[in-house]
Each structure stands twice: as C-alpha cells, then as structure tokens.
Amino acid sequence: MWEVKYNPTSETADSLDMVLLDEQGSQIHALIKKDLIPHFKEVAKEGSVYTISHFGVGNNKRSYQQVQNDSIIWFNSFTSLKFEPEGLVDIPKHKFNFQPFEHLAERNNRKDILTVLITQKIIGQLTGVENKINKTTTSEERRTIHITNERDIKVTTTLWGEKANLSQMQYGKMRTDHK
C-alpha cells in the first residue's frame, strides 16, 4: 500500500493505492480515493487476506502502471472488506514480474508501465533515461539515467562509452562508471 500525492508538496494523499493478488496469482491495481482513506486505512492491512465486495472496476489508463492489467478497482462507500483468517485461502503475499535486463531499452520513454531497475547495488524505480550524448573530441559518448528507491532517495548515474548504448547492456553486467 502506498499513498499517492498529485501535488508533491501537499500534506495529504489524493489516494491510497495497492496491488491485490488472488489465489491464481492474478494482480490488479486498486485505489481508495481521498475522502475514503481514513475509513479504509484503519481496516485494510497490508499482507492480510480479505473478501472484497461492492467495488468499482474501470479501465486502467494511469501512467506507470504497477501491474500488467488493463483494469483497475476502486473502493467506494459501499465497498466491504471481510477479513479471512490466515491459512483459509492460499494467496501469495508477493509477486514479481521480472523482465530480462536487455528489455530496458524497449521501456525507455514508455509511461504506461512502471519499470524498476534492480542491480546488485541499486534497487529502485528508473525515473528517467536521457538521450545519449555522442562522442566529442573532449569526451566519450554517455547517457544519464535517474533512479529513485522506495525511500525516495534519488540516484543519477552516467553510463559511459559502449555502456551508453542501452541495447548493448546485458543483465547482470551493468556497471556504473563515474568519470
């Protein structure tokens, strides 16, 4: 569960978002609108299992979607959550959809899916990939990438030389060079 603020300087969240899983491992993005957050924030606990009824379903047209699902669920004032005791239903607590590192270039400038970059030293969301700067007489070609982790720590890294060609990167072999 995470809070979404459309205005980063705002004191309050505009929605409380989450990813729901079922017993087949299917995932869907769900959200609780601003005015209902106080009610559901006290009821819905991350990692617990619930039977949910009386909710809305629509097309997920948001940018940076957390799961590959064309639909989104939104809670409303009629939504009901019934807590299910642990062990009654076998539902995983986590699910990940890893993509090969070489697919990173395909996701450049795509705003429909969220891309998270995981290497041995950095775990975070790839928040920007700048255009490659070609080699000049004074410097090698380079590309700057921006990564933000779950604690909102921002990292800017420059990829130099052949590593600036994202299509040539291989999973597990990316190394950041700072010159």
pTM for the model stands at 0.58
CATH topology of domain 2-84: OB fold (Dihydrolipoamide Acetyltransferase, E2P) (2.40.50)
Q: pLDDT tens digits for 93-125? A: 777 776 665 566 676 666 666 665 555 455 567
Task: Decide if 54 contacts 76 (C-beta within 8 A).
Answer: yes
Q: pLDDT tens digits for 8-31? A: 778 889 999 999 998 888 899 999
CB contact set of 124 (below 8 Å; sequence gap of 6+) = 116, 117, 147, 148, 149, 150, 153, 155
Q: So where are the chain's domains?
A: 2-84, 101-168
Q: Which of 155, 27, 4 is nearest to 91 (CA)?
A: 27
User: Residue 102: its pLDDT value, please?
Assistant: 59
